[in-house]
Amino acid sequence: MLQRRNSKQRNVIREYLCGRIDHPTAEKLYKEIRVEHPKMSLGTVYRNLMFLTDIGEIQALDVGDGITHFDPNPMPHAHFYCKKCKRVFDVFMDDYDKIQTLFAKNVQGTVDSCAVSLTGICKECSDNN
């Protein structure tokens, strides 16, 4: 059984990530938190994001830029990374779980996650061109 204690820092990190749709990195979150909480350390941010990911409260994302992004929404869904503005967008689909099952059927083993990550140029960036 996974142990846990309440800590102010953990709740601050929760508070800063909750409700966001911009999928910040640990570093970004850290810098933002630092303004109000100058004693917060980077290691604590990493440790807690990892912890929250492990207990399934949030999810970690590999979007293709080599940096781990965090999504307060742990539900499986696709993501779109804009190579120009470097933003990450949620991509919701009606039959995501069916597609996941479809993929899992083609795997020789037990699948426990299925990440779909798209890359390209977002509408806003191709318009401002």
Partner DNA sequence: GTCATTGCAAAACGTTTGCATGAAT
Partner DNA sequence: ATTCATGCAAACGTTTTGCAATGAC
Contact of 4 with 20, CB cutoff 8 Å: no
**Count of CB atoms within 10 A of residue 92's CB?**
9
Residue 82 φ/ψ, nearest 5 degrees: -85, 120
Question: Which run of H or of E encompasses 62?
Answer: strand 59-62
How far apart are CB 72 and a second copy at their closest, in Å? 19
Binding mask 10-29 toward DNA (x if CB under 7 A, else -) reads x--------------xxx--
Distance from C-alpha of 66 to C-alpha of 86, rounded to nearest angstrom: 12
Q: Is 38 in the site for a second copy (CB under 8 A)?
A: no
48 binds, among a second copy, DNA, none (CB under 5 to 8 A by kind): DNA
Residue number, 42 or 116, with CB nearest to a second copy: 116
Residue type at 10 in one-letter notation: R
Chain contacts with DNA (rule: CB under 7 A): 3-10, 25-27, 37, 39-44, 46-48, 50-51, 66-68
Chain contacts with a second copy (rule: CB under 8 A): 62, 64, 66, 68, 78, 80, 82, 89, 91-93, 99, 102-104, 106-126
